[in-house]
Structure 1
């Protein structure tokens, strides 16, 4: 279930709105309460309804996994703090060792390929030469402003780097933001800045976005398409932090408007997703990393 709505500690506002952005100095604020809340989330012992199977690793795989993938809570917190800008050598190194939220749906659906070439598929991810294009450059340039606009309406957003839950250290994600209430992290923020937002406010292009579905029978008619990679991205992120909610934020730089869709955690989808990712990682991904 997903809809453009707000919870009790959020400011009430329409899902689509345009406001003047906050000064940059008011964003990305770290404090001890956030660091402590993040540490508590990283202590979460993640559970699935059906446990993941045990795996037998080769000696080289076991050594690589122990030395490069396994991480303590304090180690995970250090990585999160050291990679806050999400674009440095350490961030890229730790992402390469794991299946990340932005890649997970691609691997999940590739499991349905009748004639898969897993070595080629994994190599294309581990050794990707993609450094961005016009769409990603635009999105990156707008993300900070989009976060400020969201903050102005919905309250403070905390930034962090790559997050790894030590109970499943072979997965990871880099959130666009996290929200706290009463000292507890309870909501993920995922920001998208489509190029269509260069020339139109969000209301002018919302119906054209392939990752949204429209149902006029619902109170909040727009929801995230469950068959799109962004759905897998936010679901895996919620799972790894053991939280239930995500605000999916769509931003337009044309008029600084945003549209917010609240996405709820989907445990049925997550069971299937994590089970397949576990198979892919320990059958193919780790083998290539350790070879």
Structure 2
């Protein structure tokens, strides 16, 4: 709850909604699930106060991908139940349409409100073309999460529990963490835990849809894995960049990269690489201040 009745705008994470079956009638919840699983929900945000909260979002129509997105609003009580809503579609006066259902399922099924941007740093560092064009593309890109991304988000909580059981640790969860002294840089860790020595360790979870019912050692390997008898994380992959940036932001030295499927799991220890960071962070800093902010200014002036 917000202190002193000051509303809080939540953009990085939120608690799930309850009793959706009692609010949405007929087939709207089923149709909304199709929209949600197809990644049609974006720009989700929640305004929280002492009485409850209001969730707003946009939803792309299912059969008209080029049509304007629907604007959805859901009113949530203190028990995380929907008591009112609205959508600007013809069936959305009471907020019980399929678009509203998709938004509700999005808040119920994911830990973050924003489209994952974890590959952004890697795209900048490995860009072979114009960095100015890369900055413009990042500013103007439309969040769109396909079923593979949604699968990973939905499976992350169960994977985290499996990791805790396998390694006998308790994992703490966080939202968006801003880098101290460098507020332009941030990360969203999947978790942090303490090892046997009491040192804090980063946890990064991956739940690959393509191997959901297969062994992780099956050849060919997942594109981010390498090695023969002992598998390792490929240093040229975006996941390595992602982990190194997270370690830098959090001030940590090690990460457990945990790959989880329904039939197998794999833990890879990744150490902080200061040589990589000494080159990557200045490049990202220059990109942000010299190119990204300029592209953002030009976009807002259009």
Offset of 1:120 from its aligned partner?
3.0
2:183 aligned partner: 169
Q: RMSD value over aligned CA atoms?
A: 3.0
Instruction: State how far apart, in whole Å, the 1-side matches of 2:210 and 2:11 are.
Output: 33
Q: Does 1:273 align with 2:229?
A: no
Query: SS at 1:172's partner residue?
Result: strand
1:109 aligned partner: 126
The answer to whether the Cα contact below 8 Å between 2:11 and 2:45 also exists between their aligned partners in 1 is no
Q: Does 1:89 align with 2:103?
A: no
1:186 aligned partner: 200
Query: SS at 1:202's partner residue?
Result: coil
The answer to whether the Cα contact below 8 Å between 1:202 and 1:259 also exists between their aligned partners in 2 is yes
TM-score by length of 1: 0.60
Describe the shift of the 1:273–1:200 C-alpha distance in structure 2 as closer, same or farther (beyond 3 A).
same
Q: Deviations over 1:74-126 (max 9, x none)?
A: xxxx99x9734499537768x99xxx65310110011xx2x41x343223222
The answer to whether the Cα contact below 8 Å between 2:177 and 2:187 also exists between their aligned partners in 1 is yes
2:134 aligned partner: 121
State which of 248, 261, 268 in structure 2 corresponds to 1:239: 248
TM-score by length of 2: 0.58
Instruction: State how far apart, in whole Å, the 2-side matches of 1:183 and 1:286 are.
Output: 42
Instruction: State how far apart, in whole Å, the 2-side matches of 1:195 and 1:101 are.
Output: 18
Offset of 1:180 from its aligned partner?
2.9
Instruction: State how far apart, in whole Å, the 2-side matches of 1:186 and 1:260 are.
Output: 17
Offset of 1:133 from its aligned partner?
1.0
Instruction: State how far apart, in whole Å, the 1-side matches of 2:206 and 2:174 are.
Output: 17
Query: SS at 2:171's partner residue?
Result: coil
- Structure with greater contact order relative to length (CA < 8 Å, sep ≥ 6): 1
Larger Rg: 2
Describe the shift of the 1:201–1:195 C-alpha distance in structure 2 as closer, same or farther (beyond 3 A).
same
State which of 276, 284, 291 in structure 1 corresponds to 2:291: 284
Instruction: State how far apart, in whole Å, the 2-side matches of 1:181 and 1:277 are.
Output: 31
Describe the shift of the 1:184–1:167 C-alpha distance in structure 2 as closer, same or farther (beyond 3 A).
farther
More helix by share: 1
Runs of 5+ consecutive residues of structure 2 not aligned to the other structure: 1-7, 16-42, 47-111
Q: Deviations over 1:25-78 (max 9, x none)?
A: xxxxxxxxxxxxxxxxxxxxxxxxxxxxxxxxxxxxxxxxxxxxxxxxxxxxx9
Runs of 5+ consecutive residues of structure 1 not aligned to the other structure: 1-77
Offset of 1:181 from its aligned partner?
5.4
The answer to whether the Cα contact below 8 Å between 2:195 and 2:201 also exists between their aligned partners in 1 is no
